[in-house]
């Protein structure tokens, strides 16, 4: 397989059936799967992140799954670096990189590239530590109001983006917004075919509810308890995973079981809506594909699209 071999990308909201579709495609084409899920990178966070089963991982090689301890910080720069390396390795092994996930920012950065502005891992870690915890966002906003009020106005209370803006200003002495104006971030870096797994909203929400019940029955509460004992709630990134914080409230007797379930389902639905908005707005290259048709027919379409692309 050539170094410019095309990728297959499957993205979509949580619960839409991305992983099932990816496995079906990988049974038809010689694929390795690259996870584009910001929480499946963490070891021991299995049930709550809907991580691929061990059976699936034995059947098809998965990359960027179980690569970090929960105490490790994950950011888009780390993800892109690891994903790029995985793509190269898969192609060198004469296989097809199949990127699957719902972390839109990570997929966007991988496919279109990070902005070309300077970055410093050590400075980034220093800023994260300085502006973490209670009152950190307010102090960060005050600092941005002093050094880059334009970025503050545009970015609002988005802590991650404000930290990146402060990092760039600290390295260059110039506003990140002014420097980005000259960068074209709408050019794809890879040849690919890309799909957005679409479902009727009522169907998607029903699937989210059923999946939540199954995850709780499968031991999600015990998984959460063990992770909390290992410091989950004090971690820089892993603690942001949906559901674990709500389960902690149940374990602390702050809420009842039924309320816990309702809150998790509600939070997951809200996240799914945000994902749909992101993918609709940020990925013009993506083909919307209805998951309300048969999995076999959808898989056939993707395989035919890929074979047509490589014949060109």
Is residue 11 situated within a structural domain? yes
Contact assessment for residue 239 and residue 231, using Cβ atoms and an 8 Å cutoff: no
What is the model's pLDDT at position 81?
Answer: 93
Q: Do 261 and 286 fall into the same domain?
A: yes
Compute the average pLDDT of residues 250-256: 98
41 exposed, middle or buried (CB, 10 Å; 0-12, 13-18, 19+)?
A: buried
Domain range for 133: 121-180
- 7-11 β-sheet, strand order: 62-63, 31-35, 96-101, 7-11, 192-198, 287-290
Please state, in angstroms and as integers, the Cα–Cα distance from residue 131 to each residue in 14, 162, 169, following that order. 30, 10, 16
Q: Do 107 and 243 fall into the same domain?
A: yes
Percentage of the chain modeled with pLDDT above 70:
97
* The model's pTM: 0.83
Q: Do 273 and 292 fall into the same domain?
A: yes
Domain boundary among 142, 161, 180: 180
What is the model's pLDDT at position 4?
Answer: 61
Q: Do 167 and 262 fall into the same domain?
A: no
Q: Do 22 and 98 fall into the same domain?
A: yes
CATH number of the CATH domain containing 167 = 1.10.20.140
Q: Do 108 and 81 fall into the same domain?
A: yes
Q: Do 152 and 211 fall into the same domain?
A: no
What is the model's pLDDT at position 187?
Answer: 86
Q: Do 167 and 245 fall into the same domain?
A: no
Q: Which of 155, 166, 157 is nearest to 124 (CA)?
A: 166
Q: Is it the case that residue 2 has pLDDT exceeding 60?
A: no
Q: What integer best gives the mean pLDDT of the chain? A: 93
What is the model's pLDDT at position 195?
Answer: 97
The DSSP element (H or E) to which 213 belongs, if any, is helix 201-217
Is residue 107 situated within a structural domain? yes
Compute the average pLDDT of residues 43-54: 97
CATH number of the CATH domain containing 199 = 3.40.50.300
Is residue 2 situated within a structural domain? no
Is residue 1 situated within a structural domain? no
Three state DSSP letters for 87-144: HHHHHHCCCEEEEEECCHHHHHHHHHCCCCCCCCHHHHHHHHHHCCCCCHHHHHHHHH
Question: How many structural domains does the chain have?
Answer: 2
- Distance between CA atoms of residues 229 and 163, nearest Å: 29
Residues, the chain: 312
Compute the average pLDDT of residues 254-273: 97
Contact assessment for residue 50 and residue 19, using Cβ atoms and an 8 Å cutoff: yes
Q: Do 38 and 107 fall into the same domain?
A: yes
Q: Do 137 and 277 fall into the same domain?
A: no
Is residue 37 situated within a structural domain? yes
Q: Do 303 and 267 fall into the same domain?
A: yes
Q: Do 273 and 190 fall into the same domain?
A: yes
**pLDDT confidence tier of residue 181, bands split at 50, 70 and 90:** low
Look-up of token digits 């169907």: 203
Q: Is it the case that residue 102 has pLDDT exceeding 60?
A: yes
């Amino acid at each position: 397989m050539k170094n410019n071999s095309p990728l297959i990308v499957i993205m979509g909201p949580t619960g839409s059936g991305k992983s099932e579709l990816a496995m079906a495609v990988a049974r038809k084409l010689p694929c390795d799967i690259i996870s584009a899920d910001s929480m499946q990178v963490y070891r021991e966070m299995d049930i709550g992140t809907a991580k691929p089963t061990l059976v699936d991982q034995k059947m098809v090689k998965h990359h960027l799954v179980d690569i970090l301890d929960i105490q490790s910080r994950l950011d888009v720069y780390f993800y892109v670096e690891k994903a790029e390396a995985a793509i190269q390795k898969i192609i060198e092994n004469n296989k097809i990189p199949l990127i699957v996930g719902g972390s839109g920012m990570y997929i966007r950065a991988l496919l279109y590239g990070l902005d070309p502005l300077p970055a410093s891992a050590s400075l980034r870690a220093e800023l994260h530590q300085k502006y973490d915890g209670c009152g950190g966002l307010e102090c960060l906003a005050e600092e941005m109001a002093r050094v880059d009020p334009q970025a503050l106005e545009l970015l609002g209370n988005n802590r991650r983006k404000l930290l990146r803006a402060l990092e760039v200003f600290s390295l260059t002495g110039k506003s990140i917004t002014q420097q980005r104006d000259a960068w074209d971030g709408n050019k794809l870096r890879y040849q690919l075919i890309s799909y957005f797994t679409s479902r009727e909203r009522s169907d998607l929400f029903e699937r989210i509810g059923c999946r939540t019940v199954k995850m709780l029955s499968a031991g999600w509460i015990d998984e959460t308890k063990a992770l909390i004992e290992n410091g989950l709630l004090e971690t820089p990134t892993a603690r942001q995973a949906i559901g674990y914080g709500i389960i902690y409230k149940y374990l602390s007797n702050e809420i009842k079981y039924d309320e816990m379930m309702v809150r998790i389902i509600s939070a997951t639905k809200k996240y799914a809506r945000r994902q749909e908005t992101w993918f609709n707005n940020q990925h013009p290259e993506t083909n919307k594909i209805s998951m309300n048709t048969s999995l076999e027919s959808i898989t056939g379409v993707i395989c035919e699209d890929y074979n047509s692309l490589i014949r060109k």
